[in-house]
Amino acid sequence: MSKAFKEILCKYIVVKIKAIIAVKEGMVNQEVTNMLSMLKEHFELFSIQDLPYVKKVDSYKVIESENISSAITIGGDGTLLGLSRYLPEYVEVIGINMGGRGVLAQIEKDRLGEFIEDYLSKNYIIEKRMRLKAKISDLETVNVLNEFYIQRANFNQTPIFFINVENIVNIKEKMDGLIISTPSGSTGYNYSNRGPVVEQDLELMILNPVMPLKVLPVIIVKPYNINIQVSSHAYIVADGQLRYEVLPGETITIYKGDYLSLVKLKSSTSQINKILK
């Protein structure tokens, strides 16, 4: 095959973008099938779910083995959170919103065709979103995009929380729980517990006490290491989806994790404005 013929042939070969995809459970209807059909024209799709037009895989190790560069979620913020914990920073995350508030999943389903054109022409923004990790004794958790929620396991007594932030903050107080949130998660449980909503690209951690025995402020700190002990049996919940057991006296260390690369259209609404709608 001549060099000139190869050059001509390359003009007609469409190189698809490799993407891992997740669809909200129970949402694979005709509308979603049509969306998958549209996506498969430009993306080579992989998933651990059984989906039309998508290659089923056994694990998220496919991201590394297949050099996957994009991730797509169809559903809402919960679907995006569920997939995001398996994604390294270099994977660009596209959240298609199917009708909810869509603070994280910001690509509206009715604009999917327009978005694909923008994405292929690089007409979009990548937001680097801060994530958190935790270590419970020797166990390291996944990256979380929104928050960790430490909650008591025994409802017959209120535990004492011992909280130390680089010796800048020292708290010893009885409370039901503690939310440690990222800026992205400021619109989640933190907001429901009357915490502040902050800009998504800031570098900070929000410590929001849940039902303390005495009034405590919400504390905002730089991304320090936060060490926490609970006087009785507790759980630490990651992004509202995964739960880890914490035994009395075990030390939980929460610290800055890897970034997540979130795709946004240039016309997207900020998360603060999403809340104010």
Q: Which residues lie below 8 Å from residue 92, measured CB to CB, with a gap of 6+?
A: 69, 70, 71, 126, 261, 263
Rounded distance, CA 63 to CA 70, Å?
9
Rounded distance, CA 269 to CA 173, Å?
39
Helix-, strand-, coil-residue percentages of the chain, each rounded to 5: 20, 35, 40
- The catalytic residues are 77
Structure tokens at 254: 């929460």
What DSSP assignment string belongs to 128-190? EE--EEEEETTEE---BSSEEEEEES-TTSPPEEEEEETTTEEEEEEEEEEEEE-SGGGGTHH
DSSP annotation of 196:
P
Closest to 274 in 3D by CA, of 100, 135, 25: 100
What DSSP assignment string belongs to 157-171? SPPEEEEEETTTEEE
